[in-house]
Amino acid sequence: MSEEIKAAVSDTSRHFLKQWVAEDVAAGRTGGQVVTRFPPEPNGYIHIGHAKAICIDFGMAQEFGGQCNLRMDDTNPSKESDEYAENIKRDIRWLGFDWGEGFYSAADLFGKMYEIAENLISGGHAYVCGLTQEQWKEYRGIPTAPGKESPTRNRAPEENLALFRRMRAGEFADGTLCLRAKIDMASPNIHFRDPVIYRIMHVPHYHAGDTWCIYPMYDFAHPIEDALEGVTHSMCTLEFEVHRPLYGWVVDRMDEMGLLVVRNGVKIRPQQREFARLNLTYTVMSKRKLLQLVQEKRVNGWDDPRMPTVCGLRRRGYTPEAIRDFCERIGVSKYQSETDVALLEHCLRDDLNKRALRRMVVFDPVKVVIDNYPENQTGCAEAQNNPEDPGAGTRQVPFGREVYIEREDFMEVPAKKFFRMAPGQEVRLRAACLFTCTHVTKDAAGVITEIHGTYDPESKGGNAADGRKIKGTIHWVSAAHAVPVEARLYDRLFTVPDPLGDAARDFVEFLNPGSLKVVTAYAEPALASAVPGEKFQFERIGYFCADPVDSKPGKPVFNRTVTLKDSWAKQGK
Ligand code: ATP
Ligand code: MG
């Protein structure tokens, strides 16, 4: 055993899956290459839960210098499509992972699976069964008492084979017959009680066309796919734990048929292990529910920036780095839990803070007139693009006698500890100058229409020449140069932490009616040429991203990615 592998095996800080793989590598069970797979079903877009599985599957292969295959687990033609498959590929690439030559589709193995099924029948390991759905359930029974045998369980293999071939030939209607593995009707594991392994479905397949009218079940197909691809470690979520004996049973049969891959003289027996799925507060994750939101037009498509889909997160302004960091931080365990969505947002802010360019945008403008600034003169403030990254440089922001500030940054009678703009209280206009309000004008209703005052011509860049301390700094835009932009203020899609937690109510009742507000904001001119997808921090407001779909240079549209307030950091976590 090499020192490296010894160290890997004895490193108990590694999560249980790493430990498991390290032991197999050390024992020589992988034939020199760890092979994992990510097996999405192309029946929807992948979401942040899948991102966790992707980080585990691809991450483990990377860690052990192995290979992770991408396999479309497409055994249910009624819900699958090429559009989904293509988008899954694009999203995984965007997350930063690469399957190299290892792209597979279960559908490419339908012929092989059929052959294996025939072999099982011939060997007395499978039979055709005609129980109805209800009968099947009743015969299967409950875990604490043995089930009942199907009347055709002991039919001769030749008869089963003939029937199975007729099933394939399309002689029977959907649901009339199925193929079952002959295992153990008394097993305490219900999945071991002669599970269905093939069903009749007269539905063409997005990838296999209309070649088939019988399709293998997931529990049968998955171990076959793993075995034929030479997968060494097959990781999935906990709900599959009870299916593991069946997985092993299928692999055993393949072993008997001599179908296991041999790598460097080692026969590869794929093994399955399970980890807890990701659940997030304020989020629903099941593809079925996400599809419902799309179909009922509760959101604007799978890539709506409020969706937890990878394409939705991307459009919202998430970075792959933030998502991978999140997946790293939540770790891997078998413990079912709910992760606070604030952690995901925290990882996002952490990353955007380092890379997002700072810009000034005013959302609720009130005009400030600098009475001692020459009329018709345009000045320039040199502002830092990102104080976290000196390499990002500076930019010139036009400045003039009239600027807009946020209405809430002014108080006529300042509250205690209000250090922003107020009469007689000097404040910094970010990167431009120091300004002191002298008076305001109001309309008939008493609403402030203009704030007047003077600036200190010596306060270049917003710093006092004599070094006096200024407590408040606010953002602004030049009134003459401000560019109106559309801002889409996204918020959480649900109002409660667990939208599925109330069995008596449909989860859509908990949709947040304020999850999207569209407003016009006033931006510094540099933002007019924002490139779709480009990310910014609007100073003191939040992180925004030029919408990758609707934003055009000259007519920018910004999605609010996340506000600046970090409730995770605040909790001191
Ligand atoms: P959903 O339950 O959202 O419909 P699924 O499990 O049906 O998802 P698949 O395409 O079959 O979706 O999943 C591909 C892989 O992603 C599986 O191995 C599955 O275990 C894993 N996965 C799905 N959801 C999560 C999640 N929330 N957390 C971690 N892994 C997940
Ligand atoms: Mg599934």
- Residue list, ligand 1 pocket, CB within 6 Å: 39-41, 49-50, 52-53, 73, 236-237, 277-278, 285-288
Q: Domain ends where: 435, 457, 481?
A: 481
Which of the four pLDDT bands, split at 50, 70 and 90, describes residue 2?
low
Mutate to test the pocket of ligand 1, among 46, 48, 50, 239 (most ligand atoms within 8 A of CB): 50
Which one is catalytic: 287, 316, 395, 535?
287
CATH number at residue 560: 2.40.240.10
281 inside domain: no
Residue 368 CA to residue 482 CA, distance in Å, equals: 13
Say if CB 505 and CB 473 are below 8 A apart.
no
Which amino acid type is present at position 80?
Answer: E
> Beta-carbon neighbour count of residue 275 at 10 Å?
21
State the closest ligand 1 atom to the C-alpha of 53, by its place in the atom list counted from 1: 30
**277 is known as an active-site residue:** yes
Which of 275, 389, 404 is CA-nearest to residue 333? Answer: 275
State the closest ligand 1 atom to the C-alpha of 40, by its place in the atom list counted from 1: 10
Which of the four pLDDT bands, split at 50, 70 and 90, describes residue 385?
very high
Would you state the structure tokens that stand for residue 38, as one six-digit string?
A: 């990510």
- Residue 61 phi, psi (nearest 5): -60, -45
| Cα torsion 438, 443, 446, 449: sign | negative
Q: What is the mean pLDDT of residues 112-135?
A: 97
| Helices and strands (H and E) in the chain: how many | 14, 27
Say if CB 191 and CB 219 are below 8 A apart.
yes
Residue 224 CA to residue 253 CA, distance in Å, equals: 10
DSSP 343: H
540 inside domain: yes
19 inside domain: no
The reply to whether 148 and 64 lie within a common domain is yes
Average pLDDT score, the chain: 96
531 inside domain: yes
Residue 10 CA to residue 303 CA, distance in Å, equals: 43
Residue 22 CA to residue 34 CA, distance in Å, equals: 10
Give residue 189's pLDDT: 95
The reply to whether 471 and 560 lie within a common domain is no
Which one is catalytic: 277, 355, 492, 540?
277
The reply to whether 328 and 367 lie within a common domain is no
How far from 441 is each of 282, 367, 368, 369, CA to CA, in Å?
A: 44, 10, 10, 11
The reply to whether 296 and 339 lie within a common domain is yes
Would you state the structure tokens that stand for residue 229, as one six-digit string?
A: 């691809």
Give residue 571's pLDDT: 78
How far from 128 is each of 117, 140, 144, 220, CA to CA, in Å?
A: 11, 15, 26, 15
Residues 6+ apart with CB under 8 A from 367: 402, 403, 404, 449, 450, 451, 479
pLDDT in tens, 318-351: 999 999 999 999 999 999 889 999 999 999 999 9
**Alpha-carbon dihedral angle through residues 127, 133, 138, 139, given to the nearest 10 degrees:** 0
The reply to whether 304 and 410 lie within a common domain is no
Q: What is the mean pLDDT of residues 480-509?
A: 96
Ligand nearest to the CA of 287: 1
What stretch of H or E contains 162?
helix 157-168
**41 is known as an active-site residue:** yes
Residue 35 CA to residue 211 CA, distance in Å, equals: 30
Question: Which residue bears the tokens 């032991």?
Answer: 23
Give residue 570's pLDDT: 79
Q: In the predicted model, is pLDDT for residue 98 greater than 80?
A: yes
pTM of the predicted model, to two decimals? 0.94
462 inside domain: yes
Q: What is the mean pLDDT of residues 531-545?
A: 97
pLDDT in tens, 172-202: 999 999 999 999 999 999 999 999 999 999 9
Residue 155 CA to residue 167 CA, distance in Å, equals: 16
12 inside domain: no
Q: Domain ends where: 463, 481, 499?
A: 481
**287 is known as an active-site residue:** yes
Say if CB 342 and CB 567 are below 8 A apart.
yes
Q: In the predicted model, is pLDDT for residue 224 greater than 60?
A: yes
Would you state the structure tokens that stand for residue 332, as one six-digit string?
A: 């891997």
**Alpha-carbon dihedral angle through residues 72, 74, 79, 83, given to the nearest 10 degrees:** 40
Q: In the predicted model, is pLDDT for residue 407 greater than 90?
A: yes
Which of 353, 293, 300 is CA-nearest to residue 490? Answer: 300
The reply to whether 111 and 259 lie within a common domain is yes
Q: Domain ends where: 460, 481, 502?
A: 481
Q: How many CA atoms lie within 13 A of 435 on its CB side?
A: 32
Give residue 566's pLDDT: 84
Ligand 1 midpoint to CA 249 (Å): 23
Ligand 2 midpoint to CA 387 (Å): 45
23 inside domain: no
The β-bridge partners of 104 are: 71
Ligand 1 midpoint to CA 50 (Å): 5
State the closest ligand 1 atom to the C-alpha of 240, by its place in the atom list counted from 1: 20
The reply to whether 475 and 367 lie within a common domain is yes
The reply to whether 305 and 268 lie within a common domain is no
Ligand nearest to the CA of 53: 1
Task: Determine what percent of the chain falls in helix, strand and coil, rounding each to the nearest 5.
Answer: 30, 25, 45
Q: In the predicted model, is pLDDT for residue 495 greater than 80?
A: yes
The reply to whether 374 and 500 lie within a common domain is no
- Residue 403 phi, psi (nearest 5): -130, 160
Q: What is the mean pLDDT of residues 269-296?
A: 97
CATH number at residue 56: 3.40.50.620
Angle between helices 244-256 and 110-122 (to 10 degrees): 80
Range of the domain at 220: 31-275
Give residue 567's pLDDT: 82
Give residue 10's pLDDT: 67
The β-bridge partners of 519 are: 487
Give residue 135's pLDDT: 94
21 inside domain: no
The reply to whether 80 and 128 lie within a common domain is yes
The reply to whether 431 and 323 lie within a common domain is no
Number of separate domains in the chain: 3
How far from 263 is each of 35, 57, 227, 229, 267, CA to CA, in Å?
A: 11, 20, 12, 11, 6
pLDDT in tens, 13-63: 788 999 999 999 999 999 999 999 999 999 999 999 999 999 999 999 999
For strands 357-359 and 266-267, give the pairing: unpaired
pLDDT in tens, 6-25: 666 666 678 899 999 999 99
Give residue 379's pLDDT: 93
State the closest ligand 1 atom to the C-alpha of 290, by its place in the atom list counted from 1: 3
Residue owning the nearest CA to atom 29 of ligand 1 = 277
User: How many Å is the Cα radius of gyration of the chain?
Assistant: 31
Q: How many Å separate Cα 332 from the centre of its chain?
A: 16
Residue 352 CA to residue 537 CA, distance in Å, equals: 8
The reply to whether 446 and 504 lie within a common domain is no
